[in-house]
Amino acid sequence: MSQTSLFNSLVRLARLQNEAVDQLALQEAVSSLTPKQAASPQAQTKAIVAMMHLPKATFLRRPDPANLPALYADKAGEWLVVKGQNPQGLWVLDQWDETSSQWLETHSADLQGTCLVKMRLAVPFSRHNSPVYQLVRGEVLRQKGSLFEAVLGGVLINFIALITAFYTMQVYDRVVPTGATQTLLVLTIGVFVAILFDFMAKHLRARINEKIIHRVDQRLARTVYMRFLGVRLDQLPKSVGALAGQLRGYETVRGFLTTVTTHLMVDAPFAMVFVAVVFAIGGWIALIPFSFFVVSVMLGLYYRSKVDKLAGDANIASNIKTGLLVETVEGAETIKSGQGGWRMLSRWMNTTDEARIYELSMRRISDNAQHLVAGFQQLSYVGLVATGALMVTQSNLTMGGLIACSILSGRILAPVAAIPNILQQSAHTKAALKGLDAIWKLEDDHSGVSHPLVPEQLRGHYRFEKVEVNYGNKRALTIPALTISAGEKVGILGPVGSGKTTLLRLLSGMYKPQSGRILLDDMELSHISKPVLADQMGYLQQEGRLFAGA
């Protein structure tokens, strides 16, 4: 089997599925296949999946348009990509042509090859491998002092809830039977003071959370924007608007982490404290709210995968919608002059419809989970009251103890009520992290150079050596050799699309060739500090732009 066709087909499949793939790692995996692993197409596929830690591949018995695009190995041992089926019923395939170094589209009435496989090239997301997650997490944890204060406020709020429950129990067990009004007055004053502390604690915790968000957002906003400014020009995606949507994702991650950190550190653990208190008051009656707590958590875990997938699709659709809107604003003159508004309107409606479908599906799941959790809370309350009433009639529980347990049962399930909202936030955070990670993987102006060169002066002596530039799989510019002496005046002439702008961007260091090298004063151009180039080199771009506030 051809390793070249396998590698090219895998890269092509990833591109058709809009998935980012590490081509160096993929090339290494393909080239390191042992004779046993390369014995059959199935063995090759399984080996690639294992080495790249990809999701499990699905081998198809027959082609199905619903499972396309897919990899296909023909009888000659070459790999192709099945893209779809045309109106005539023919299967549309992409095949890499070694002679022309480009993809050729072919058609086949029947796929009589040896292997047809559906696979995903995107490595399953792991927050531990996400540089953006580690960045945001590090910034949040830097605020240890403020986080401790927020946690302390949460602990105080939950203890006050215990005080309220014990107040009710004491009133029903001590005051009502004996008519001890003095005791009632003391208890009531104490509870009023506790409620005042509760109000102050909630207010202070809200202010502390605002302070945490303010500090984290300041540092993250600078880091994310600086990372974007450092991305090399040829690495930017085609849709700048979609990129803008991805950049805003850090706000979602920051908001989720700051909220969930205090929730997981205080509210969720205190649910177990409330269970223990209910057990101390009413004995095994505590199993009723605890059982519903466990069932609610399991329900959240069940819905998690569905919400994650829908949130990922919704995030992509939202970024596309933002990108389309930005492109429409930027290209308004072209759209109006060419009467292309109908086409843009059609794309806009299709994109908004797709985004709305995903959002409504996700909201439906969230609402269902919320309704079930609310039902569990009611069932828990009814079950606890009914069981407690039987225990009261048997003198195994006091009336005050029953009422206190019913109050605390609501506090046990209170953290569970937030599960639907947390699920939705978690899914949006995961989707935002994927988008930001994709930006972090883009090469910057000094990619692979730890210490850029800082020459005092540049003379302007250029030398090109076997330079090649590609736009995707299409060769854009080839320069075997070119020398421009310092002080030499050069004019570049050529038709549209001949590579004039590409050459200027190479000379300015904004583009980096896929092969070959460019020397400036006998120094690798990509190794020279970008601020030094900008300071000593004048560059007038093809289209000027005015910026707000400039």
How many angstroms from the chain centroid is the CA of residue 349?
25
pLDDT tens digits for range 277-319: 888 888 888 899 889 888 888 887 788 777 877 877 787 787 7
Whether domain 462-536 has CATH 3.90.79.10: no
Please name which of 223, 433, 224, 231 lies closest in space to residue 315, comparing C-alpha atoms. 433
Please name which of 108, 78, 105 lies closest in space to residue 94, comparing C-alpha atoms. 105
DSSP secondary structure code for residue 174 in this structure: I
In whole numbers, what is the pLDDT of the chain averaged over residues?
81
Which carries the bigger pLDDT value, residue 293 or residue 425? 293
DSSP-based three-state secondary structure for 81: strand
User: What are phi and psi for residue 161, nearest 5 degrees?
Assistant: -60, -40
- 523-524, strands of its sheet edge to edge: 474-484, 462-471, 515-520, 523-524
Q: What's the rounded mean pLDDT across residues 75-88? A: 82
Cα 76 from Cα 106, distance rounded (Å): 15
Cα 30 from Cα 28, distance rounded (Å): 6
Which carries the bigger pLDDT value, residue 182 or residue 129? 182
**DSSP letters for 354-418:** HHHHHHHHHHHHHHHHHHHHHHHHHHHHHHHHHHHHHHHHTTSS-HHHHHHHHHHHHHHHHHHHT
For residue 240, name the pLDDT band (cuts at 50, 70, 90). low
For residue 128, name the pLDDT band (cuts at 50, 70, 90). low
Contact 212, 146 (CB under 8 A): yes
CATH of 127-440, one of 1.10.10.10, 3.40.640.10, 1.20.1560.10, 1.10.3720.10: 1.20.1560.10
Contact 427, 215 (CB under 8 A): no
β-sheet bridge partners, residue 59: 117
For residue 124, name the pLDDT band (cuts at 50, 70, 90). low
Is the pLDDT at 117 greater than 80, yes or no? Answer: yes
For residue 64, name the pLDDT band (cuts at 50, 70, 90). confident
Q: What's the rounded mean pLDDT across residues 324-329? A: 80
Give the CATH number of domain 3-118. 3.90.70.10
Please name which of 218, 220, 211, 214 lies closest in space to residue 149, comparing C-alpha atoms. 211
Is the pLDDT at 254 greater than 70, yes or no? Answer: yes
Domain boundaries in the chain?
3-118, 127-440, 462-536
| pLDDT for res 262 | 67
CA angle, residues 124, 362, 132, in degrees to nearest 5: 40
Contact 120, 19 (CB under 8 A): yes
